[in-house]
Amino acid sequence: MKPFGEAGHLLRVALVYALGVALFLIVRAILVPHSFGEFGYYRGRAIAQVAALPMHFAGHQACRSCHADVVALKRSGVHAGLHCEACHGPQAAHVANPAAVRPVLPRVATLCIRCHAYNPARPHSFPQIVVKQHDPGGLACNTCHQPHSPLQGFGKKT
């Protein structure tokens, strides 16, 4: 006697599909990390792994302990809201060992225009220049502007 009589082939196809689903569930159990979804739509253990990575940024508080004069000058000008490492790059290694690790000075020719080259998407109130018009001679920005207080000497709020 055939199991399920004349509908036995339907049982076979149902079994194939059930095997497919079971295989999928096994593969899923193997491939999906156990901590996935622990806190949200990501691998929970990723937080501990990222936290264990070495720190590269020291934070602007660290700069003040040695460079209080520069920090004070910056605070008086329009760049007050910028943190030191935004332009000077991550300096955790320098803070840890100031004598051995000397920060490289930023290249002003490329650094300043990252924010101040004209871009129609920026607000009109934001200071922007068309580089070729503003500086046809190719002078470095800090020839005229003090980077830590860019409008110093221009008769405006520094």
Give, for 50, the enclosing helix (H) or strand (E).
helix 45-51
Please identify which residue in 1, 2, 104, 138 interacts with other proteins, judged by CB under 8 A: 2
Please identify which residue in 1, 40, 41, 48 interacts with other proteins, judged by CB under 8 A: 41
Q: Is 45 in the site for other proteins (CB under 8 A)?
A: no
Q: Is 1 in the site for other proteins (CB under 8 A)?
A: no
What is the amino acid identity at position 11?
A: L
Closer residue to other proteins in complex, CB, 36/57: 36
CB of residue 137 to other proteins, shortest distance in Å: 21
Q: Is 31 in the site for other proteins (CB under 8 A)?
A: yes
**Distance between CA atoms of residues 148 and 79, nearest Å:** 7
Closer residue to other proteins in complex, CB, 10/140: 10
Closer residue to other proteins in complex, CB, 32/68: 32
CA atoms within 13 A on the CB side of 78: 13
Closer residue to other proteins in complex, CB, 4/154: 4
Q: Is 121 in the site for other proteins (CB under 8 A)?
A: yes
| 74 CB-near residues (< 8 Å, 6+ apart) | 80, 82, 84, 148, 149
Sign of CA dihedral 30, 34, 40, 43: negative
Q: Is 57 in the site for other proteins (CB under 8 A)?
A: no
Touching other proteins, residues 10-29 (CB under 8 A): 10, 12-13, 16-17, 20, 24, 27-28
Contact 113, 131 (CB under 8 A): yes
Contact 77, 148 (CB under 8 A): yes
> Nearest-5° angle of CA 11, CA 14, CA 16?
115
Q: Which residues bind other proteins (CB under 8 A)?
A: 2, 6-10, 12-13, 16-17, 20, 24, 27-28, 31-32, 36-37, 41, 118-121, 130
